[in-house]
Amino acid sequence: MKTTVHALLFDVFGTVVNWRGSLIASLESFGEKNGLKADWPALVDAWRAEAYGPLMDEIRERTLPWTPLDDLHRVALEELLPQYGLVGLTKAEVDWIHRLWHRLDPWPDAVPGLTRLKQGYSISALSNGNVAMLVNMARHGGLPWDMVFGADLFNHYKPDAECYLGACTLLGLEPERVMLCAAHNNDLQAASELGLRTAFIQRPLEKGPKGPIEQPADGWDLVASDLQDLADQLGMKTTTHEDEP
């Protein structure tokens, strides 16, 4: 594998960062601090579903003009807040909630796993997030990307072919020399159909401890329990304190 694959692309939401758990924890803390009560998990799930559902579909179908994910999140949030009894918030408070997507926490294995993988491959984010969001998220969580490919570089959202092929072109590599690593079968399927290699990363807690678990479909090049396991399968040595300068 290492002789043919030169670059790894990573889906971010769910694969590298715990978007749902991070948002719920931050909103629960916000509610406690401000004396607000709401069904925070339901709000988070609805927020994600609205932005990634009808709004993004309309952009893919070109019934809406290109709009970055930050703006889709804002539209969805302002529609959902009153539905969950959150009225009378200041603009600064709504802005703070909106920007939570820039401060998502990585899964515990993400930073050490990516650091190991970077020994042998270029590692890049390939996300439906916009570049500013991904850069801020990387700084917040210490994600050691070589490059972030946001959807706003291509004016397309995954699984549109322009995202995967655009990233390969900018890396100067043919698709078969690039591997997409993701926790979602539809993402990997779109990449595979374009000639990219594929690695399914298992994230059983993405939708919460009681949520549905996405199982890997057949046909992926690799299936890994997390990013440390992916590094093991790709032959990357384990980083120890002795390796550090």
**1 pLDDT band (50/70/90 cuts)?**
low
Contacts of 38 (CB under 8 A, 6+ apart): 27, 31, 84, 85, 86
One-letter identity of residue 119:
Q
Task: Quote the CATH superfamily of domain 18-100.
Answer: Putative phosphatase; domain 2 (1.10.150.240)
120-130 per-position pLDDT tens digit: 999 999 999 99
To which H or E segment does residue 180 belong? strand 178-182
All structural domains of the chain with their residue ranges:
5-16+104-232, 18-100
Per-residue pLDDT for 9 more than 60?
A: yes
Determine the 3-state secondary structure of 84 from DSSP. Answer: helix
Termini Cα distance of the chain: 29
Question: Same CATH topology for 5-16+104-232 and 18-100?
Answer: no
Contacts of 123 (CB under 8 A, 6+ apart): 7, 8, 10, 114, 117, 144, 145, 146
Query: What is the pLDDT at residue 238?
Result: 82
DSSP states of 187-203 as a string?
A: HHHHHHHTT-EEEEE--
Mean pLDDT of 115-142: 98
Query: What is the pLDDT at residue 10?
Result: 99
Distance CA 161, CA 169 (A): 12
**3 pLDDT band (50/70/90 cuts)?**
low
Query: What is the pLDDT at residue 239?
Result: 64
Instruction: Measure Cα distances from 49 to 83, 143, 154 in Å.
Output: 15, 25, 22
Distance CA 9, CA 5 (A): 11
161-171 per-position pLDDT tens digit: 999 999 999 99
52-94 per-position pLDDT tens digit: 998 999 998 889 999 999 999 999 999 999 999 999 999 999 9
Architecture of domain 5-16+104-232: 3-Layer(aba) Sandwich (3.40)
Block residue for tokens 């802005």:
95
pTM of this structure: 0.94
Per-residue pLDDT for 237 more than 90?
A: no
Q: Can you read off the two tokens belonging to residue 104? A: 């998502």
164-215 per-position pLDDT tens digit: 999 999 999 999 999 999 999 999 999 999 999 999 999 999 999 999 999 9
28-58 per-position pLDDT tens digit: 999 999 999 999 999 999 999 999 998 999 9
Task: Tell me if 141 sits within 8 A of 13, measured CB to CB.
Answer: no
Contacts of 228 (CB under 8 A, 6+ apart): 109, 112, 113, 116
Question: CB count, 10 Å around CB of 6?
Answer: 17
Beta bridge partners of residue 212, listed in sequence order? none
Helix/strand number for the chain, H first, E second: 10, 6
